[in-house]
Amino acid sequence: MIRIALMLPRFSRYGGVEQFGFRLAGELARRGHLVDFICARQEVDPPKGVRVLEVGRPPGLRIFKMLWFLIRAESLRKRWNYDFCVSLGHTWNQDVIRMSGGPLLNFWAKSEPAFPPGLPRLFKRLRRWLSPSNWLALVIERHQFTAKSDVIAVSHLVRDWLLQAYPALLPGRVTVVYNRPDASRFSPPTASERAVARAALASGSANAMDGAVEPVFIGTAATRFEGRKGVKQLIQAFSLLPEHCMLFVAGGQAPGGYIKLAAELGVADRVVFCGKVEDMPSFYRGLDIFILPTFHDTCSNVVLEALASGCKTIASSSDGSAFFLEPEAILADPGDVPEMAKRLHLFMERPTPPPFVWPENVDSGLETFADRIEGLLAKRTMR
């Protein structure tokens, strides 16, 4: 039997790459492979047939945690002599890398405009360049993409960014397989499912269902509140919308600054911070519009999930998921607040879209990714 290792610091079902790693491990085990998942921290039970090898995390600075996982994962890789190793994060040696984050310097350049010009932006730049863990991440990244590992990017945008950042990387070594939400979880709701979901959202606000006009529910989601996600700009744009609109923000940590901003703009009673949402399918079912005005996202799962759930969906041109959107649904500049408000106005008037159909000529989904791994493994065996 084929022994395959997946490597990622966190074994969890919360977070885009973590959810993908969990599902990929289960799919490879279902196909009859012996699958180990090497992680620093295990948060959930594994799928059937998957063994989790937890290496722990030392206390202290992030650089020590990164180094610990780098060294311990490499030690286990050598010890078990796997037939094939899949890197989902910062590891030293592997057969294939799933590139989900994009080159680090590209991320810094793209996300920097999310911060106000002047001292806030300069401070953010200095923090990034002076961070030891960032320097370690750069060293690992450069080693990964000068080694002989194959690369599977999560979007055409990531592929282009990667080839631009590392010109020596052969284009033939970089292929694209998009994320594809689980159709059994994310699909257009029935009328009753939508009614229940909207009632659940409305319960978080005292005035969500008040008034004679049918409310418009707008939503966004992020694992963490970061400047690059465009939450600040979205709240500013939302303040320009009519009174019958509601904004629901899923996820995030410590939203105090955004709550204060909503209050300053006079929309605190129409902006609901939902915290960590366990039932994201129900969240999407209740929305009229989903928007992610991100300054940098390689291929945001939430945009694809919203599309699959039948939402009218808006994203930015700096998000690889925008590949699947019509031009009117793509924000050229997520920092352009008036344009964002204008686009939301436009989408408020649009009817509910028909069910999203995934293009047949675009490689996507967990099964396709697993097929690609087995294809690379077969090539390696033939050498």
Return the pLDDT at 132.
Answer: 96
Judge if 170 and 247 occupy the same domain. no
CATH number reported for the structural domain that contains residue 105 in this entry: 3.40.50.2000
Judge if 22 and 93 occupy the same domain. yes
Query: What's the pLDDT band for 207 if we cut at 50, 70, 90?
Result: low
* Spatial separation of the C-alpha atoms in residues 40 and 76, rounded to whole Å: 12
Q: Looking at the domain assignment, is residue 358 inside a domain?
A: no
- In angstroms, what CA-CA distances link 326 with 161, 189, 340, 356, 382? 22, 22, 15, 12, 43
Return the pLDDT at 16.
Answer: 80
Q: What percent of the chain has pLDDT over 70?
A: 96
Judge if 129 and 195 occupy the same domain. no
Query: What's the pLDDT band for 223 if we cut at 50, 70, 90?
Result: confident
Collapsed DSSP state (helix, strand, coil) of residue 367: helix
Which domain does 265 fall in, by range?
191-348
CB 57 within 8 A of CB 28: no
Judge if 106 and 244 occupy the same domain. no
Judge if 8 and 121 occupy the same domain. yes
Q: Looking at the domain assignment, is residue 129 inside a domain?
A: yes
Residue 382, pLDDT > 80, answer no
Judge if 211 and 166 occupy the same domain. no
Asked which of 168-172, 244-248, 269-273, 338-342 is least confident by mean pLDDT, the reply is: 168-172
Q: Looking at the domain assignment, is residue 356 inside a domain?
A: no
Write the pLDDT tens digit of every residue in 87-133.
999 999 999 999 988 899 999 999 999 888 999 899 999 999 999 99
* Spatial separation of the C-alpha atoms in residues 151 and 171, rounded to whole Å: 10
Phi-psi region of 333 (alpha: psi -120 to 50; beta: other; left: phi over 0): beta
The token pair at 143 is 């080693």
Return the pLDDT at 308.
Answer: 94
The token pair at 11 is 């074994």
**Cα torsion for 115, 116, 120, 121, to the nearest 10°?**
60
Nearest to 231 by CA among 203, 279, 189, 273: 273
CB 221 within 8 A of CB 300: no
Q: Looking at the domain assignment, is residue 355 inside a domain?
A: no
The letter for the amino acid at 41 is R
* Spatial separation of the C-alpha atoms in residues 150 and 304, rounded to whole Å: 25
Q: Looking at the domain assignment, is residue 354 inside a domain?
A: no
Element (H, E) at 308: helix 301-308
Write the pLDDT tens digit of every residue in 363-381.
999 999 999 999 998 887 6
Q: Looking at the domain assignment, is residue 186 inside a domain?
A: no
Domain count, the chain: 2
Return the pLDDT at 182.
Answer: 84
Q: What is the overall mean pLDDT for the chain?
A: 92
pTM greater than 0.85 = yes
SS3 content of the chain, % helix, strand, coil (to 5): 45, 20, 40
Nearest to 314 by CA among 291, 283, 333, 294: 291
Judge if 44 and 151 occupy the same domain. yes
Judge if 156 and 82 occupy the same domain. yes
Element (H, E) at 333: none
The letter for the amino acid at 50 is V
The Cα angle at residue 358 between residues 48 and 375, in degrees rounded to 5? 50
Tokens 């070594």 correspond to 173
Collapsed DSSP state (helix, strand, coil) of residue 4: strand
Judge if 173 and 201 occupy the same domain. no
Residue 76, pLDDT > 90, answer yes
Collapsed DSSP state (helix, strand, coil) of residue 273: strand
Query: What's the pLDDT band for 170 if we cut at 50, 70, 90?
Result: confident
